[in-house]
Structures are given as structure tokens and as C-alpha cells.
Amino acid sequence: MPISPTAEGFRTAFRHPSLALGEIAWRWIVGATATALFFFGLFEYLNTLPLTSGEMLFLRTRHPYFVAQALVHIFRGSLSRAVMAALLAGLMLSVLSVVAASLGRIATVRGLLEYFREQVRSRVSPGEVSSDLPSEASPFRTLARLNFLRLAVALAALCGFVGAAILAGFASPDSDPNPGLAFLFFLPLAGLICLVWWALNWLLSLAGLFAVRDGEDAVGAISAAVTFCRERTGAVFAVSIWTGLAHLVAFVGATTVVSMPLGFAGVLPWRLVVVGVVFVTLIYFALADWLYMARLAGYVCITEMPEELLAPLPTPPPGGLKVTPAPPVQTTIDRDEPILSDVPGALPASS
């Protein structure tokens, strides 16, 4: 019987929660490290700022003009230190994310490959399925290069947003300001940048599957991903669409639930509101990572399952089967039937 890669992906994510937990683990380690580093750096930076009695007096007045002047004087000359600290922290986080993403992808993809190859052995001849996997060193180098390219694409997207803002600013000069026209120019440029970034990031993420499965280098993995999308367009499109719709439903549901504690912000204590928002946000992140694992499992299912198992059931040819129509059902009364006649002697005499 043919199988559905989308259904197999969700079924695998349900049956093997350890794979989703592994995906969540490395993502949350990077996220928790970035969050802790941000708040630690922020507090340390604020502790280094000098605060004189005059600036404190301006802040206590709570007048917008005096408060602004005090803040400008406090932060004067300290922006360079903050920028250097942010660049160093970003560099260290980039290295951590590349290493964690590479190791996590090796573990999850290897687990999915073993699972689906076992499923194929139960459907076809065991000798037709290869159980050999490349060594761990080669996929790690390739995945590190691919993840570095993903970071480079994200940085290029940020630079593209800055360039789009600069180009849109030409439509609203200081002599004749027109912010509406500038926004009208910026919006399609930003949308195009987001579309290109998403497509490249998705392709590089998919290439990691072939780096682990076939032991390809970075260029070979990207080429294999492009060939895979060209040959299995329908199946890949179906898995991406259904998991994307599930992600959209999860996002809409999470934003709806988050709006509830925010609506009681003026009634409930602010600490309780913050805890509720953080709790719902963490649940959404966990569900998003689980859906990503379901999508990855669907892609692995497409690569490992034979094409005849993924094809739909063949439909019989129009002229292949000849069906004899049933005789029509008689719904009228036969007037020639002798038993219905009212003429005497019409019935035969009994002996």
C-alpha cells in the first residue's frame, strides 16, 4: 500500500519523542545561552555607567525633556564599548550555534535514517536496503560549513534591510518629507529580502540531510538537495505545506493565548503576567521544534522509501473492465397477464 510522507513524519515524531527532545535540547541550549548572555551583559554595562547627582536630580523630575537630557549625558561616550561587547558576544554565540546545530543534526538525521530503513526492510527485500552510514567526522565538517553559510545568509539579510531602508529614505528627503511613500518603497523590498532569505535558509537546512545520509561535501549536499526537490517536487511540497499550516495554526493559537494575560495586565500583578507570557512562549517554541522534526522526518521518508511505495494507487483504465448493466426494474403492471383479466373463462380450467 502507498504511504504518505506527511503522515509518516507526524507518526514518527509521535512514536519517537526522543528525536524531538534532542532537537529541542540543542536549540534551547543556544537560546538559553544567548538570553543569559544578553541580560548579563546588559546589567554589567549599566553598572559601568557613571551617574552624578545632577543626572539623578533630572531623572527624579520625571519630566520628558530633563529625563532625555540625563540619559544622553549618561550614555555619552559608552556606545563603543557596548558595540564591541555585542560583536564579541555575537561571534561566540555564532560558534556555539554552528557546533550545536551540526552535532544535533547528525544525531537526529541518523536516528531517522535508521528508523525509516527498518521500515523499508519490513516492506521490501532486506538485501535491497543499505544500512551503511558515513563516518561522523565528514558530516560534521560539511554541516559546519552549511550552518556557517546559513549565518552568512542571515547577516546578508540584515544588511539588505539596512540597504532597503536607505533606498526608501531617498523617497522622503528632508526638504520634502513623505514617510508614507518611503514605507511604500520599503515594504516590497523587505518582503523580497525575507523571501530570498527564507528560500536559501530552507535549502541549506535541507542540504544537511544529504550531508549526513550520503557523506557529501557542502557543494555536493546543496546539489543533491536541488536534485531532490526537482525529482520529488510533489511530495516535498506536500510535506512543507502541511507542516507549515500546522505551524501557522500553532502560532495563531499561541498569540491568542498570550493576549489573555496581557489583557489582565492592569489587574493582575506584573510578575504573574510575565510568567504566563513566558510559559506560553516556551510551549510554542517546543511545539515549533516538534513540527520541524515532523517535517524533517517527512523529508527522510521521501528519500528512503522506494518511489513505488510513495506513488498513489493506480486507477483502472477506462476500457479495461466491461461492466454489464443490470436489467431495468419493471415498475408498471402487465395488462396481458391472464390473472388480471376480468373476462370469464380467461383462466384455464383446473383438472
pLDDT(255) > 70: yes
CA atoms within 13 A on the CB side of 9: 27
CA angle 134, 217, 143 (to 5 degrees): 80
* pLDDT above 60 for 36: yes
* Furthest C-alpha separation in the chain: 137
pLDDT higher at 335 or 31: 31
Q: Which amino acid is at 70?
A: A
Most confidently predicted of 78-82, 216-220, 264-268:
216-220
Higher model confidence: residue 81 or residue 278?
278
* Residue 346: how many other CB atoms lie within 10 Å: 10
Rounded Cα gap, residues 140 and 142, in angstroms: 5
Q: Rounded distance, CA 201 to CA 146, Å?
A: 10
Instruction: Write the DSSP symbol of residue 136.
Output: S
Cell of 193: 529580502
Question: For residue 351, is pLDDT > 50?
Answer: no
pLDDT, greater one: 22 or 128? 22
In this predicted model, what pLDDT tens digit does every residue of 321-334 receive, in sequence order?
444 555 554 545 55
Query: Confidence band (pLDDT; 50, 70, 90) for 285?
Result: very high
Calculate the alpha carbon distances from 238 to 5, 36, 180, 249, 277 in Å: 8, 38, 39, 17, 33
Does pLDDT of 45 surpass 70? yes
Span of 38-47, 70-79, 154-163 with lowest mean pLDDT: 70-79
| Alpha helices (H) in 48-63, listed in sequence order | 53-61
Structural domain spans, the chain: 5-123+139-309
Lowest mean pLDDT among 100-104, 180-184, 291-295: 180-184
pTM assigned to the model: 0.76
